[in-house]
Amino acid sequence: MSREITGFSNPLVKRVRSLREKKHRKREGLFLAEGLRILTEAREEGVLPEMLFHAGSPHPLARELIAAMEAAGGDVIETTADILSKISGKDNPQALVGVYRDRLTPLEALDRSSADIWIVAQSLRDPGNLGTILRTGDAVGAGGLILVDDCVDPFSVEAVRASMGALFTQTISTARWEDFIAWLRQGPGQLVGTSLNTTSHYRAARYASPTFLLVGNEAQGLPESYEAECDLLVKMPMLGKADSLNVAVATAVMAYEILNQNQDRKGSAQ
């Protein structure tokens, strides 16, 4: 269904704008994604928005997305750039804004055998780091991201934007630590933590599949009790004055080392 909205006071505009706040996202089970690239990535994964707002974008990919929405009976709303700005909270909004159903997968529904690498983040606070970690997971073929304890909302506008579409390619699950550990120990899986409290070099360690790579809070790292639950703790050498890497950077370094070892094993087995 296609329609036009040009008034700022329209109830739907107010409702969609409210999704910029976590409490409204949680209540409705919806979130915002903006921009042709992210919405196209979602469509390529077979995911269409519940509602699509556009400002008459002439781009061929935008027209394809609008046509797909109309064919699926979705809600397509043509509006103005000013209203898109009001919805997205940006002075220079993208030409497309989609409203999507949230994409959380229950922990017990995860298929750990579907990937060699899974990323687990504990008490992550920065949406930019979360989005970057999702992109890393996509790049290394991770099964998904498991958010442990109180993490930043993966469906915040900032996190969605930082993911550059990886939000739609990666499975996302949330859990309390004790629930995650109980689930993990029910099947195969090596829990690998990054820590300064070890002498094990990250490249000298040997990673078993599936590897659950556990990274901690940006400021405090992993709690000692969480480190004690790990099958393996590893550290990366710091040759300068800094004592640690940004958590998203550390995740990428570790994920690629795990990927390289997996590929080497599979290559030698052939």
pLDDT at residue 84 in the model: 87
Contact 160, 31 (CB under 8 A): yes
pTM: 0.91
Instruction: State the DSSP code for 72.
Output: T
Question: CB of 126 within 8 A of CB of 218?
Answer: yes
Say what the pLDDT of residue 270 is. 59
- List the domains of the chain with CATH numbers: 2-101 (3.30.1330.30), 107-269 (3.40.1280.10)
CA distances for 234 relative to 67, 192, 230, 237, 258, angstroms = 50, 7, 10, 10, 12
Asked if 57 contacts 64 with a C-beta cutoff of 8 angstroms, the reply is no
**Phi/psi-derived region of residue 254, left when phi > 0, alpha when psi is between -120 and 50, beta in every other case:** alpha
DSSP 176-223: -HHHHHHHHTTS--EEEEE-SS---BTTTS--PSSEEEEE-BTTTBS-
pLDDT of residue 263: 92
Over residues 2-20, mean pLDDT: 89
Question: Model confidence at 1, in pLDDT bands (50, 70, 90)?
Answer: low
For position 203, what pLDDT does the model report?
95
- pLDDT exceeds cutoff 90 at 91: no
